[in-house]
Amino acid sequence: MNLSRTIAVLLLALLLAGCASSGNQAANDPLEGFNRGVYAFNEELDTYVIGPASQGWTRVTSQDVRNSVGNFFNNLESPGYILNDLLQGKPGGAGKETVRFVVNSTVGILGFFDPAEAWLGIEGRPEDFGQTLGKWGVDSGPYLVLPLFGPSSPRDATSYPVAYYTNVLTYVAIDTLTFGTLTALNIVNSRAELEGAARFRDDAAIDPYVFTRSAYRQFRRNAVHDGNPPMEDDPYSDFLEDMDANPDI
């Protein structure tokens, strides 16, 4: 399946997921009142600060520049991917991520370029500690919206401190100002890359909160199962298989 069709299918699946659940019990969202308040705060922050900053960043940079910046920050997170691959019992994945980290940090000029994928065909697969706990059988728990970080759960929230202590940036940033500036650049660049998806959500969803909640839970199920969730957890598997079998759809 080519990239454009993959994106189209993903957006359709997310739309269906957003329409599939509305009750807080069915969605495991007992804190919905609190979560909606935090969600509204995050949306205001995005509307007045992060969104305008990302739009300005898009106007002064090309797609190639934004891709390189994204590659750079993803490469800094590679030690965390390697650790979580090992904790999940995936030495092959850890080996591939190690090769990616070494090749992209050297030949790829500190990770700004991705020769590991372009030349060696080794694609990156982010892994975090929330996925690791999921692999170990830990339930995600109730839906949770965190200030600044957005959709999460008690299980997935554990990924943030682990990601911090396994990120190369934590140890090479000269001072707090440098660390904060680079972190802000990462946030703005990531938000710029998600502009189309955010616009789609706002246009397509009757209730963006419900859409985001459902889409996030489905995304995390897929991540824990490496894109192959159990049949009962993947109501769109038949549809996706048909799309692969019939490229003219």
Per-residue pLDDT tens for 121-165? Answer: 999 999 999 999 999 999 999 999 999 999 999 999 999 999 999
Indicate whether 153 and 218 sit together in one domain: yes
70 and 28 belong to one structural domain = no
183-208: average pLDDT: 88
Predicted local confidence at residue 231, as pLDDT: 72
* pLDDT grade for 202, boundaries at 50, 70 and 90: confident
pLDDT of amino acid 247: 53
- 133 located within any domain: no
Q: Answer for the pair 128, 84: CB distance below 8 angstroms, yes or no.
A: yes
Q: How confident is the model at residue 4 (pLDDT cuts 50, 70, 90)?
A: very low
66 is a domain residue? yes
Q: What one-letter code names the amino acid at 115?
A: P
Taking the chain, what is the end-to-end CA distance rounded to the nearest angstrom? 11
pLDDT of 17-59, one tens digit each?
444 444 555 679 999 999 999 999 999 999 999 999 999 999 9
Tell me the residue range of the domain where 97 lies: 61-127
State percent of the chain over pLDDT 70. 82
Residue 34 shares a structural domain with residue 69: no
Q: What pLDDT is recorded for position 241?
A: 52
Report how many domains make up the chain.
Answer: 2
The pTM of this model reads 0.82
Identify the H or E element spanning 145: strand 144-146
Residues 45 and 68 in one domain: no
Question: Is the domain of 53 the same as that of 110?
Answer: no
DSSP conformation letters of 195-247: HHHHHHHHHH-SSHHHHHHHHHHHHHHHHHTTT---GGG-TTHHHHHHHHH-T
One domain for residues 40 and 51 = yes
Q: Is the pLDDT of residue 11 over 60?
A: no
Picking from 127, 158, 173, the residue at the C-terminal end of a domain is 127
The pLDDT value recorded for residue 13 is 47
Considering the domain architecture, whether residues 210 and 162 belong to the same structural domain is answered as yes
103-128 pLDDT per residue, tens: 999 999 999 999 999 999 999 999 99
* pLDDT class of 203 with cuts at 50, 70, 90: confident
pLDDT of residue 244: 56
Residue 135 included in any domain: no
Is 148 found in the same domain as 49?
Answer: yes
Domain end call among 102, 127, 152: 127
The whole-angstrom separation of Cα 221 and Cα 194 is: 20
- The whole-chain average pLDDT of the chain stands at 86
The whole-number average pLDDT for the span 206-234 is 87
Considering the domain architecture, whether residues 186 and 215 belong to the same structural domain is answered as yes
| 132: in domain | no
